[in-house]
Structure 1
Amino acid sequence: MINFNGKLLSKEQVQLTSDNRGFKYGDGIFETIKILNNKVIFWEDHYFRLMASMRMLRMKIPMEFTLEFLEEEIMRTVRSIEETGPFRVRLNAFRKDGGLYTPETNEISFLIEASAVQYNTKESYEIDVFKDFYNYSGLLSTIKTNNRMLNTLASIFADENDLDNCVLVNERKGVVEVANGNIFIIKGAVIKTPALTEGCIKGIVRSKVIEIITKNKDFTIEETVISPFEIQKADEVFITNAIMGIQVVTKYKKKSFNTEIGNKLFANLKFLQIAGV
């Protein structure tokens, strides 16, 4: 079942017109959310990111869009599914039909879809740089808009070249993220991740991992500029997103990586998810 503006409908019953602005202009945003043990994982973080993104895009936030309302709508959608969890949820908000580039209204519709997911991290995970197009730096790149063409092309490139993922770079040739998440590199006692000013998504798990590392006296975290060359020189590399949590990288070009610290961070993150912190 799909939750469309508060109504639970089958896919066949959902009526999206050819004037849908999410379809025509990418005029929408979304959150990818994990449901584990009947809990919306890191829900407050997702909610506040959603609200901030809607304000940035000048969408009119409905009065009923409270933390509690949307959480209940998510769980109501999940409960309508006969499968067992964990679940992957996509919450999409898009401007209502009407207008060309200039919309007729800033009011929004929302759509929530959920599916059971079993994600197991891979023991072998190879990445490389996607060079065909840039992920341009800037504030707009930090939010999850419906325009994911670059991520799609990078994922196709990875599939065609027997890779598990691709690194996206910006117009300054700096590392931004991977096709489906944020990236961290470890060299000695320093852990680096691209700064938001590089154009990376303001990932929820990215923030949680930064918190974990900040509390660990053995390591220093830096949000900074990273060159692709630094990946090759790293001791470890790992990527993050809301569904898989942390996936360690084992190979980049001809370089193989250790995975000890990444796996320890994965265990710490898993504890936070179960605890609902």
Structure 2
Amino acid sequence: MPDYHPNPAGRILHLVDSTLESGGAELLREIWLDYFQVSNETDYLAALVTVLNVSAEARKQLLALKRTFIPRDQAVEPFHTFEKFVHEYAKVPVAVDQFRKTMQPRRDMLLSTSEILDEFYPTAVTSEVTLDRIRNLAYEIATEVTQDGSLDTELRAVLLRYAHNLMRLVDMYKVTGGAALKDEADRFFAEAWRTETLKRAPESLWKKAMGVTGVVLTAVDVFVAPQHVTEAIDFYLNAGTTSISIEAPAPDYVIEQTD
């Protein structure tokens, strides 16, 4: 299961990992390593943070694969430079073609889905506004699942458990903190990926489940800014579901929309 990173630094690392692990992009992988003048996948992280020119502390966190805030423009800049390098690299058309097929869509996704995160700043406390919206979204999921008699037993159980757990953890936030909410979102995401249960979900339920997951991972785990919470929620419940569908097991009608 790919690790979902809702901030620019995390997305950069995930994007690079995905590219290097892609069997169909071996040439691009070689070009990438040559671009950073390193010989293996371990060294490219060190090269990457050098290019990003981050602080010593942020460098340490990035190398440890922890989520660290880096402004979107600064995070994406290496890919603009790399794109020029690919187009000039030995004038090999297949290299340009591989870039367009593999890295360019991911780079574009990084740009579009990270834009709102430039407004955010890290804080240790989740606002009541955010918690109320998570509770309400979870309640909407539980209500729709209860009223929809067409759902199979497994799908119904998975979604109800997720919704009820989120509502319970929101109520217990002052005791358990944001980590418990984040862990529940991760558990649900892992289960959905492993069982592909959500492929059988109606479109409205799938969007709500992925939307509330995006809100939890973004507003609770990484960035919490009360004045921007509404924007973040709207983003992840609308345009954000497109990016999430790339990483989550989605119904066919959602996959078709993202191609």
Whether these two folds match at TM > 0.5 is no
- Between Structure 1 and Structure 2, the one with more strand by share is 1
Identify which of structures 1 and 2 has the higher relative contact order when contacts are C-alpha pairs closer than 8 Å and 6+ apart.
2
